[in-house]
Amino acid sequence: MQVATGAVWTSELSRGVSPKPDIRRAETLSAIFALIALAAVTVPIVTEQSTDGAHSDRAAGSAQSSSSSTTSGSELMFAGYGGVPYTYPSDVSVKKPGVHDFTAKDVQWDGKPFVNPIYYGARIVRFGAGARIGTMLDFTHSKTLARLDEDTAFTGTLNGAPAPERARLRDIFRKLEASHGHNMLTLNGLIRLAGLPRVQPYVGLGAGVTLPHSEVQFAKSETRTYEYQVAGAVAQALVGIELRTERVSYFFEYKFTFAPYTMPLSERDGAWLPLDLWSQLKNWFSGTEPPSGRLTTTLASHQGIFGLGIRSAPAAAP
């Protein structure tokens, strides 16, 4: 890590680093993706409403013995969703042998779900014919931004000297966040609970990887870590209710996610997720240590979401 000389903090604290054009484009594309995901599952609703009556009449006229809590056949659902997260305060530790070994206690995090890039998610769900057990591939784009203006307790050593007992987080970090975002990709198992044909409660459990856009910069440093990374594993549990029309589902869901993070402080400005992950993989295989050490924390979050999905199979007849 490059450290500016001098005994006092300089005007660097107020001189932010302007985002690169590639990053600004990534922010815009993420917002567009979220809108497209929601629009794509909304468009068929108008068409569906005009034909729903006819489908219902045909279903009523046929002899069916479907269970009240399953669909009439195997189905695949593509869905998009938005939501609101809350992330618990957590300790943030930075270790670089011979330089840093400190912990900032109980760092507060903001989610800002309606500020670009917004909170969004996309998923693919599959249930077999008449099955209560299904699978889901789920991607969530959340955010975590440290509240830099709050006083925080510190322990350990900073720049080879004892860390202050208390300090504003901004006095240590210029940036500490995953605002592009706290991304999670999980594979989940789902279980449908007893319900009505058009009102379907469910629960789920899954695990996967975190793919944050790590943004970390020390207050007195000219360099920063600004790239997508694999930061570790994530687990999630969920419970929700699905409201099913002929081909469209509306769902309301609560999720709890638990993600232990390890961020290599690479001092690198990345641009594109595949290239950033390839760079990280090469460093891992070569045994190259990150120039500014490693940052660890644990992000445990409550998330309330609402979404829309298009299904390949119709709802079971009442």
Q: At residue 2, does pLDDT exceed 70?
A: no
Residue 34: the pLDDT is 46
Mean pLDDT of the chain: 82
Specify the pTM: 0.77
Q: At residue 6, does pLDDT exceed 60?
A: no
Q: At residue 78, does pLDDT exceed 70?
A: yes
Return d(Cα 93, Cα 54) in angstroms, integer.
Answer: 61
Find out whether 209 and 250 touch, Cβ atoms under 8 Å: no
In sequence order, which residues have a C-beta less than 8 Å from that of residue 62 and are 6 or more positions away? 317
Confidence of residue 25 (pLDDT cuts 50, 70, 90): low
Mean pLDDT lowest among 3-7, 74-78, 250-254: 3-7
Helix, strand or coil, per DSSP, at residue 141 = strand
Mean pLDDT lowest among 10-14, 20-24, 144-148, 313-317: 10-14
Q: Which domains does the chain have, with CATH numbers?
A: 19-49+72-311 (2.40.160.20)
pLDDT in tens, 89-127: 999 999 999 899 999 999 999 999 999 999 999 999 999
Return d(Cα 196, Cα 86) in angstroms, integer.
Answer: 31
Q: Is the peptide bond before 201 cis (omega within 30 degrees of 0)?
A: no
Residue 52: the pLDDT is 41
Strand-pair partners of 154: 104
According to DSSP, residue 247 is labeled: S
100, 104, 120, 164, 318 from 178: Cα distances, Å: 21, 17, 15, 25, 46
Instruction: Report the first-to-last Cα separation within the chain, whole angstroms.
Output: 65
Q: Give start and end residues of each alpha helix (H) in 159-272.
A: none
Q: At residue 40, does pLDDT exceed 50?
A: no
Find out whether 255 and 305 touch, Cβ atoms under 8 Å: yes
Confidence of residue 205 (pLDDT cuts 50, 70, 90): very high
Confidence of residue 271 (pLDDT cuts 50, 70, 90): confident
